[in-house]
A and B are shown apart, each in its own frame.
Chain A
Amino acid sequence: MGELGLIATFPMLPEARRWLREEGPSMDRLLTDIAYNRARDRARVHVWDALEGTPADPRGPASAVEAEMALLARPLSRLLVAAVGEEFLASRYAVWEAKRASGALERVPASLVVEVADSLEIPVRTRETDDTRTEFALGVADYLMRAPNEKAWHLVRRDPEAGSVWLGQEDFARLVEEVYRLRLVSELKERVKQVPAVVQEVFGAEVRRMQETVKERLARRKREGLTEVTPGLFPPCMKRILQDMHEHKNVPHMGRFAIVTFLHELQMDTEGILEFFSSVPDFDAEKSRYQIEHITGKGSPEAYTPPGCATMQSYGVCPLQERDSLCTKIKHPLSYYRRALWRRKKQDEEKRAQDGKTGDEGASRVADELRQETAQARGEGR
């Protein structure tokens, strides 16, 4: 990888910024000069890829010219994302770009990995293992603040040594990805406020089409959202709390808080929740109304969200013995419920398919339309 290829692959490096500042064209020329048509095309492709979740080409730029175009496309992509002004797209783009960089980071020399980490202000130390691999270490607090929010990254799975968490290159690249992603998200948030008018002229058609696509996605997501209340599919913790309430057992505060916020998240209002509890023996509706209103945000400045599995466990409200296989896949009671609903939907569809009616037609048609639409969009860009 030449110098240009290197900084095109890792645009967070200070040399990339320096090159863009000192040797790159002005933003104005980049946006309008015919010489940078290809860079602008690339930016369009990148952002569409990000929106659709198409992974970036894992191979780096093949030539110096390619590298230059890739390098120039980055600020353009960010402008385009900012011009669309949708948080959904910004977060998709951040994921896409961060994944691209971390994929490349897995295969470069350790010294370069450290350089990239430095540019993202990740305090890292290295050591060589017996089989000449390099390992990367962060202090426990530095690690916790940067690690991806996933089970596999929990401290209890990482065996810190005297305050240092040691990671192999692949894992460390993943951590760098997470830091880079968050940085991109906050950069894009800032950028939205200052999109030059000329961007709308250059990318106008693209911006509109992307906005439509995003709106459609969000609408679809909302349609599939959680409004249904089917206690049979509730996670074991919520079932346990409800059952304990029915059996007059003492439900700790965290448990009552969890069930109320959970039901509220299913779009139930105070009345609905009160009604839901009305079958509980000795249930004092009026006394509870105040508490429920407080929790659901009617009587307080903000609504609370239901606690996640970790909090439930810390407070001893998670019935550890009653967890099922779905519990091992999720970190939040709501995700359990969302998946349980989805699973049931799938089962229903399969059943319907067996009955001779296909339930999948609608979905695949939407997907087809989407593909065509994006293909058109790209065609126009070129």
Chain B
Amino acid sequence: MTQASARGDRPVVALPPPLVYMKRCLAAYYRESPPPLPERFGRREFGFVAWPREPGPPPFVRHVGFKTRDEFQSFLRRRAPWHLYHSTAFYQRPTERRMIDKGWLGAELVFDLDADHLPDAGRMDFAQQMDAVKQEFHRLLDEFVLGDLGFDADDVRINFSGGRGYHCHVLASDAMQLEARHRRQIADYVTGKGVEDRGLVRVATHRIRDGGYVRESKHLLIPRPGEPGWRGRVGRGVVRFAEQLVALPREEARKRLVAYPGIGPKTADRFLDRLRDDARDARGLNVLDRLREGSGDQGVVFAQVLGQEAVRGEMVRLVEGETDEPVTADTKRLIRTIGSLHGKTGLRVVPLELDALKGFDPLVDAVALPTAPVDVVVAKKEERFAFMGEEFRLPENEPVPLPRAAAFFAVARRMAVPVDDEQG
């Protein structure tokens, strides 16, 4: 192993007990089940979070390289890093300290979706966040990575991140050569940045000469939901917006509409009347059906509501994708190594088949630490958490024995500290 960090002779302090416990758990795990090396590992830079030898944030060690599997595995047994990463990029000389000296050869295109990125994450508990993020990740794959962007499923690898999210690596050779500015466009595509500026939903004014008069008529133009790319997506946003309003109780729908700047109570009422009117035209279609066909030209009130700037923004938000933009744009990112354990959960970074995503439950399927032995931990205040399909309760100031995986989870998430045991 080549390691680039040389620290001075500063005082070495003893590792705090929770960290001693975590390090011991991880070391035992890496002895038992050493993770596989990522493909083309000799061209990758590795990095890890080491256990702190002095107060302050733990050191992040980069520019590490491994030549053989033995070297890699003996490093893991010896150091049992808190977190382990490798570069999504391939380099001629991965261990050089300066990026320009490394000789960049290409990089996987990465999508990273984490629970923090979801708008409502703050109001969910851990398990709910995991569910929400999985659904959103599913959409990222189906609609964007495999859908609009058209990457071949054979070139796409996905994994659970060990924390609160999922990663998607695209290994297609053309995608690997993309520069940061190209990748940023892909990230922007997913998140829909710049869509509003396209004016896909807009009010067009027609002037019609009627004898001596000029009549003006306003038409709302909306894209058809079936069109490709963002045109269709915005078309679907319009439909979803209308469907949501129809599904809401009248009073709530009205409240929601008047909250948009530029929409008054009268306009809101007229719009809702129109939307809920189930009258069928000659073809047997009602208002919503016609919206689904991409016909926005359904009376002045449609233009008054759907043409409002705030509403147009909402229709994009209803259908936009989520991904961590800087991660996708970065051509030199370090990302968690498959098979390593996430130091803040003890969960394993698990590779997944695309069709296995749906049935994957990280709090069960990514549990990697053993359920035996039982470790004793104690919490400062009462805590509850779901893990391994069970509900755990930590009473205040009362030592409880937990299976190791759950104990590690509780300690790593700072809900509890280990109680000194005989082995320690």
Asked whether B326 lies within 8 Å of A140 as measured between CB atoms, the reply is: no
A141 with B325, Cβ < 8 A, contacts A157-B198, A159-B230 known: no
User: Which residues from B are CB-within-8-Å of A162?
Assistant: 147-148, 150
What is the 8 Å Cβ interface bit string for chain B, positions 249-290, against chain A (1 contact, 0 not)?
000000000000000000000000000000000000000000
User: Which residues from B are CB-within-8-Å of A302?
Assistant: 100
Asked whether A310 lies within 8 Å of B188 as measured between CB atoms, the reply is: yes
Asked whether A159 lies within 8 Å of B227 as measured between CB atoms, the reply is: yes
Asked whether B178 lies within 8 Å of A144 as measured between CB atoms, the reply is: yes
Considering only CB atoms, which chain B residue lies closest to A141 in the complex?
B174
Asked whether A163 lies within 8 Å of B151 as measured between CB atoms, the reply is: yes
Asked whether A313 lies within 8 Å of B185 as measured between CB atoms, the reply is: no
CB distance from B410 to the nearest CB of A (A): 31
A154 with B185, Cβ < 8 A, contacts A141-B172, A160-B228, A161-B229 known: yes
User: Which residues from A are CB-within-8-Å of B118?
Assistant: none
What is the 8 Å Cβ interface bit string for chain B, positions 178-208, against chain A (1 contact, 0 not)?
1101101111110011110110000000000
Asked whether B193 lies within 8 Å of A313 as measured between CB atoms, the reply is: yes
What is the 8 Å Cβ interface bit string for chain B, positions 147-188, against chain A (1 contact, 0 not)?
111110000000000000000000010110111011011111
A367 at the interface (CB under 8 A from B): no
**In the complex, A159→B189 CA distance in Å?**
9
CB distance from A175 to the nearest CB of B (A): 14
Tell me the A137-162 residues at the B interface (CB within 8 Å).
139-142, 144-145, 149, 151, 154-162
B209 at the interface (CB under 8 A from A): no
A213 at the interface (CB under 8 A from B): no
B329 at the interface (CB under 8 A from A): yes
User: Which residues from B are CB-within-8-Å of A283?
Assistant: none
Asked whether B150 lies within 8 Å of A154 as measured between CB atoms, the reply is: no
Tell me the B85-139 residues at the A interface (CB within 8 Å).
98, 100
Considering only CB atoms, which chain A residue lies closest to B109 in the complex?
A141
Asked whether B186 lies within 8 Å of A155 as measured between CB atoms, the reply is: yes
User: Which residues from B are CB-within-8-Å of A154?
Assistant: 185, 188, 194
Tell me the B198-234 residues at the A interface (CB within 8 Å).
198, 227-232
The residue that B194 contacts in the complex, of A144, A157, A301, with Cβ under 8 A, is A157
Considering only CB atoms, which chain A residue lies closest to B170 in the complex?
A141
CB distance from B317 to the nearest CB of A (A): 13
The residue that B185 contacts in the complex, of A139, A155, A159, A301, with Cβ under 8 A, is A155
Q: What total count of A-B pairs have CB within 8 Å? A: 83
The residue that A314 contacts in the complex, of B147, B175, B325, with Cβ under 8 A, is B325
User: Which residues from B are CB-within-8-Å of A328?
Assistant: 197
A142 with B194, Cβ < 8 A, contacts A160-B148, A160-B229 known: no
**In the complex, A311→B328 CA distance in Å?**
12
Considering only CB atoms, which chain B residue lies closest to A320 in the complex?
B193
Tell me the B320-346 residues at the A interface (CB within 8 Å).
325-326, 329
CB distance from B197 to the nearest CB of A (A): 8
A140 with B192, Cβ < 8 A, contacts A145-B182, A159-B229, A161-B228 known: no
Asked whether B149 lies within 8 Å of A163 as measured between CB atoms, the reply is: yes
A141 with B175, Cβ < 8 A, contacts A163-B149, A314-B184 known: yes
Interface of B (DSSP majority class):
helix
User: Which residues from B are CB-within-8-Å of A151?
Assistant: 194
User: Which residues from A are CB-within-8-Å of B195?
Assistant: 156
Asked whether A314 lies within 8 Å of B187 as measured between CB atoms, the reply is: yes
The residue that B186 contacts in the complex, of A142, A144, A149, A164, with Cβ under 8 A, is A144
A315 at the interface (CB under 8 A from B): yes
A301 with B184, Cβ < 8 A, contacts A159-B230, A160-B228, A160-B229 known: no
User: Which residues from B are CB-within-8-Å of A158?
Assistant: 229
Asked whether A141 lies within 8 Å of B177 as measured between CB atoms, the reply is: yes
User: Which residues from A are CB-within-8-Å of B227?
Assistant: 159
CB distance from B232 to the nearest CB of A (A): 8
CB distance from A143 to the nearest CB of B (A): 9
Considering only CB atoms, which chain B residue lies closest to A164 in the complex?
B150
**In the complex, A158→B149 CA distance in Å?**
11
**In the complex, A151→B195 CA distance in Å?**
11
CB distance from A156 to the nearest CB of B (A): 4
**In the complex, A27→B197 CA distance in Å?**
52
User: Which residues from A are CB-within-8-Å of B232?
Assistant: 159
CB distance from B287 to the nearest CB of A (A): 26
A314 with B329, Cβ < 8 A, contacts A156-B230, A159-B229, A162-B147 known: yes
**In the complex, A315→B330 CA distance in Å?**
12
The residue that A160 contacts in the complex, of B150, B188, B325, with Cβ under 8 A, is B150
Considering only CB atoms, which chain B residue lies closest to A140 in the complex?
B149
What is the 8 Å Cβ interface bit string for chain A, positions 160-183, against chain B (1 contact, 0 not)?
111110000000000000000000
User: Which residues from A are CB-within-8-Å of B198?
Assistant: 156-157
Considering only CB atoms, which chain B residue lies closest to A139 in the complex?
B174
Tell me the A114-145 residues at the B interface (CB within 8 Å).
139-142, 144-145
**In the complex, A154→B230 CA distance in Å?**
12
Asked whether B182 lies within 8 Å of A144 as measured between CB atoms, the reply is: yes
Asked whether A155 lies within 8 Å of B228 as measured between CB atoms, the reply is: no
User: Which residues from A are CB-within-8-Å of B186?
Assistant: 140, 144, 155
Asked whether A314 lies within 8 Å of B194 as measured between CB atoms, the reply is: no
User: Which residues from B are CB-within-8-Å of A156?
Assistant: 185, 188-189, 192-195, 198, 230
**In the complex, A159→B233 CA distance in Å?**
10
Q: Which residues of B contact A (CB under 8 A)?
A: 98, 100, 147-151, 172, 174-175, 177-179, 181-182, 184-189, 192-195, 197-198, 227-232, 325-326, 329
Given contacts A141-B174, A145-B179, A328-B197, 10 further A-B contacts (CB under 8 A): A139-B150, A151-B194, A155-B185, A156-B185, A156-B194, A156-B230, A157-B230, A159-B230, A162-B148, A163-B149
Please, could you name 22 A-B residue pairs with CB atoms under 8 Å apart, sorted by A?
A: A141-B175, A141-B182, A144-B182, A144-B186, A145-B182, A155-B185, A155-B189, A156-B189, A156-B192, A156-B230, A159-B227, A159-B228, A161-B148, A161-B229, A162-B147, A164-B150, A310-B181, A310-B184, A311-B184, A314-B184, A314-B187, A314-B329
* In the A-B complex, the 8 residue pairs with the closest CB atoms: A163-B150, A159-B229, A141-B174, A144-B182, A161-B228, A155-B185, A314-B325, A156-B194
